[in-house]
Structure 1
Amino acid sequence: RTLRDEGVVRKEERDKLRWALLAKIESCYGRVKLLRGVFDAGFCFGLLYPISNIVAGVSIAGAMSVDDPDNEPVPAASFPKRRKTDVIGDMHQRSLNGLVAFLAALFPYLTEPKAMWYLNKEELDPLVAARLIIQHRGMEQSFGFKSDTTAAAVELALRCAAAAAQHPCPKQFASAWKLLSHFLGSVATVLSGPCVTFDRFQSAEIIDILLKKHQPSDFSLEKSWDLASCRLLKLSPDLFGEVMGFPERSTMRRMLLATIHGYYLQALARLPKEKLRSQYHHSLL
């Protein structure tokens, strides 16, 4: 019989998740006070809490449009001037697209409905959702939070998120977070609070970090994971029970199919090319 793909979610359930997330995203934007440029630069995804990510995103856009006072090229990640584009689509939907893309890029075989499910449970917090996925999959010992591989994966996930949200400069967006990752404790302190009132002093502190003459070239994720772990600990015990009951068989099925596909590729690589085309391909089917 045909195996049912448990990753398929009914349209009604998907729509319910989507509207719940959009309502939370709208609430996040509503809690950011006096913030110019929110609707074309600030998104809920990044290395901090969603509201802080919105403000950091606007500061990143500010750094991308700042000229060097000596008429020299802007240092750091060589930020170009941000293109003046019209807002494309609804900002809430763009943030949602970016949040889902971040998790999907970071975790292979994670379906869109399941990514939305985790984001809904974790109040849109992308790194807390990532921590919970790691815990849920039993990856705590093998994930390598501080490894170069994880750093590269997080950088790629940020670029994918920015592209999905139609950010004008996804590469520079990810590069800016790479720079901020080395000062995340300070940035989190500046942007702390249940409601964020954006002012030029907060923005100036973040922009100063982005425009430093000597910048590290790597990602520093230790502080971001530590902060995410602290936020995760604030969850109620009931949530952990609910998460652990969430089915993972569809994920395992996709992983096994990919593993089998990998074995086929290895076998193909060992076979003689001339016989593969004329003889062996029949048995491989």
Structure 2
Amino acid sequence: MALVPNPGDPALRIYGPRIYSGYPSPEEESESRSYLLHKIGSFYRKARRRLACRRGLQARGLCVGLLDPVSNVVINSTIVHHSRKRERWRDREDAPQEDLERRSLDGLVVFLTRMFPNLAEGLAVRYLRLAKADALIAACAVASDHGIKWFHDSEAAPSLINTALKCAGLAAGHPDAARLVCAWRNVSSRVDDTLSLLALLRESQSSPRRRSHVVRELASMVTEGPLAREVAMRCAWQLAEASLRRHPRSMPQPDNDLPNRTLQDTIHGYYLEALARLPAGPGFHRSLIRAGHCYGPLDPVSNIIVNTVWHHAAFPPSMKLEQNVIGTRSLHRMENRSLYGLVSFLCTRYHGFGFQRSVRCLLEADAILVLADPDLDPAAATIRHVQEAQNSPDTGLREAFLAAATAACHPNPDAQAKLLTSCKAMLGPTMSLLRPGRGKLSSQDVQRLARLLSPESTYDHDSEMALPPVSLKSYPLADLADLYSVVSKGVNVLLNKYRQMPNGDPSYELHTICGVNDRVGGPAQWPPHECGRCHVNFLATPKSPCGGKPTLFFTEIQSDGTYDSFCCPVALPPPCATQIRCVYCEAMGTRIVHPVAIDFRSRDSEFEMLAREKDPCQREEATLRIISHRRLMAENVHCKEKEDILYDGVDGHKNKFDNVSSLSVEEAMLLAPLCRYL
């Protein structure tokens, strides 16, 4: 990331997006593929020696699986040999050995790219070379370099591994990818027994009869009996993690931006929680979008609330919004700005820190600044478990917060730096209102906070309700109003049907809509699209009888007015965790939280269609298009969004509409390094 020149005050180290590629050169990728094919060939030779037990049994299975590559070949070969429908495999058995090795490599690459949303095929090849063609070791290294914690404990992990295996089988031309997945679920459920049988095959003194018996046992174990649960796949991941700890193979890259995405997803979770704690409705949306950064002297959620409430009180609106939908892309931009604010704070505070070291420190601290900087809060430093001992800070808090506010594009950096330096003293005993887990703030709570944070303000919640509404008649506000109307109507219809109280009334009422992707099914470069669906996150508050904290929901809405779809609660994403993937939400760059246990449009089918692509170059091109668009959204800190016009109206500004449908200069520059792939 770029260190922005700051001649006015060289002590402030302010970071922003920069032009970045990070993909291996064609020469490096070609060399790595040649190395991997040679390595895969050696795996097949070892597998043949282990299977030299009976006529007709050869190493003809793919090396895609959840154990080491040779064991994968052995297990997959036994599945082929003992299949009741051998005719489905004949065309593959007759294929040249070189074709089998190439298809195995294709499967290994897709296994990685299906599991991790920001991983291009070129980077997957690089990680596979690092792991000597062991796909699960490579996946553990990717997770480590992403900053993803406790992957095997993640609720989403079993499903991701399951579908990654299926896509790998499809990419490799496996004639029954679903059967491949079922077999490996059984292997993972009895991994100790499987490893014992494989060890017997490695023994050079074993007789052919003994080997044949072991192979039959192995085939029976993985192909017969009740299907193991999906969660069993965690066991294989734990084995790979243990192997990686014994032989570290992480690939440090000074310009690796994979951890940035994990940090942004973590920050997004804090914004969802902050929206749940703020009063319902769109009243605070403008101030959150303008100045609600997550850095400060408190926990991230409390920082968002303090920054939002202070800005709302110090710069009150002149009009009010009526649509209870926060601008999705504007919210993502605020999250991006918060990332650069956090990093600039640490780099200004400690001049020995660079961008990557700061990101790593923040990931270890779950983006909690008081844990990442032990000198920010001495009380927190006594329980911190992240930051290593280091020299005293190079600058004071005021300068560090000023650097953060400048990097994060705050509308009044000096005022925010002054606020954050003194807000704990200003709040005094009302700090208890911000205690994590306390629940939703009432209007009275917010008004109390506002008066302490901005004593000169005339903020009054009741008088604010009488403000005139923003007019939504002119273009492009009319388009936004139509979209928000469709989404709001669909959300309310589905929420009313979701669960009802004994008297027939809905159990939940809408709190706020906090994420919308109206392009599910298109338009996107890949896959071929059919318009008409939205993926939406919203917060809803229980109505029975004591109320409670708002719950996050996911819904899939048909935009043709039928609303023939569903909604379901989803957990707030834990910090630094992996999440369920959606090809269309990734293609649009939206951070929608999707359900783990419920199917939805573009969860698996589009990824499987992508994996079936017969021309690997087209598959790689499609993957890069999705990654590049996601990256454009993740690096946007300056570009104007269409939703911004709503918040301009709240400020009483004249509505202006920049041509945001075309690429801005900044976006075009960021995309430039990817052009050779597109």
Which of the two has greater helix per residue? Answer: 1
> Residue 220 of structure 1: which of 232, 238, 241 is its match?
232
2:104 match: 95
1:215-260 superposed Cα distances (whole Å, 9 cap, x missing partner): 334331332122212321332x6x54xx12363127747997xx9x
In the alignment, structure 1 residue 165 sits paired with structure 2 residue 184: no
The within-5 A match list for 1:18-167 is 18-34=33-49, 35=51, 36-39=57-60, 42-65=61-84, 82-86=88-92, 87=95, 90-141=99-150, 143=151, 145-167=152-174
Partners of 2:147 and 2:483 lie apart in 1 by 44
The structural deviation recorded for 1:6 is: 1.1
Q: Which has the larger radius of gyration?
A: 2
* CA displacement at 1:158 relative to structure 2: 0.3
Higher strand share: 2
CA shift for structure 1 position 5: 4.5
SS in 1 for 2:184: helix
Please provide the CA RMSD for this pair: 3.6
Q: Is the CA contact (8 Å cut-off) linking 2:136 and 2:237 kept in structure 1?
A: yes
State, as a whole percentage, how many aligned pairs show the same letter. Answer: 26
Residues 221-260 of structure 1: pairs in structure 2 closer than 5 A: 221-235=233-247, 239-240=249-250, 243-245=251-253, 247-249=255-257, 252=260
Residues 196 and 102 (structure 1 numbering): CA distance in 2 closer, same or farther, change over 3 Å?
A: farther
Deviations 1:106-164 (A, max 9, x none): 111101121111111111111111111111121114x3x14442111101000111111
**TM superposition shift of 1:57:** 0.5
The CA distance in 1 between the partners of 2:201 and 2:253, in whole Å, is 31
Offset at 1:3? 6.1
Residue aligning to 1:71: none
Structure 1 residues 152, 275: closer, same or farther in 2, change over 3 A?
A: closer
Instruction: Give the corresponding residue for 1:263.
Output: 328
Q: Is the 8 A contact 2:32 2:129 kept in 1?
A: yes
CA distance in 2, matches of 1:102, 1:124: 12
Cα distance, 1:172 vs structure 2: 1.1
> Is the 8 Å Cα contact of residues 65 and 82 (structure 1) preserved in structure 2?
no
Offset at residue 64 of structure 1 (A): 2.8
2:26 matched residue in structure 1: 11
TM-score normalised to the size of structure 2? 0.34
CA–CA separation in structure 1 for the residues paired with 2:118 and 2:330: 19
- Structure 1 residue 176 displacement after superposition: 1.2
Residue pair 1:52, 1:192 contacting (<8 A) in 2 also: no
The residue number in structure 1 matching 2:362 is none
Which runs of 5 or more residues in structure 2 are unaligned? 1-16, 52-56, 269-326, 333-476, 486-641, 644-656, 662-678
Structure 1 unaligned regions, length at least 5: 67-79
Instruction: Work out the CA distance in 2 between the residues paired with 1:136 and 1:194.
Output: 35
Structure 2 vs 1, CA of residues 196 and 45 (structure 1 numbering), >3 Å: closer, same or farther?
farther
Question: Any conservation in 2 of the 1:7–1:251 contact (CA below 8 Å)?
Answer: no
**Counterpart amino acid of residue 201 in structure 1:** H
Aligned residues of 1:102 and 1:157 also touching (Cα < 8 A)? yes
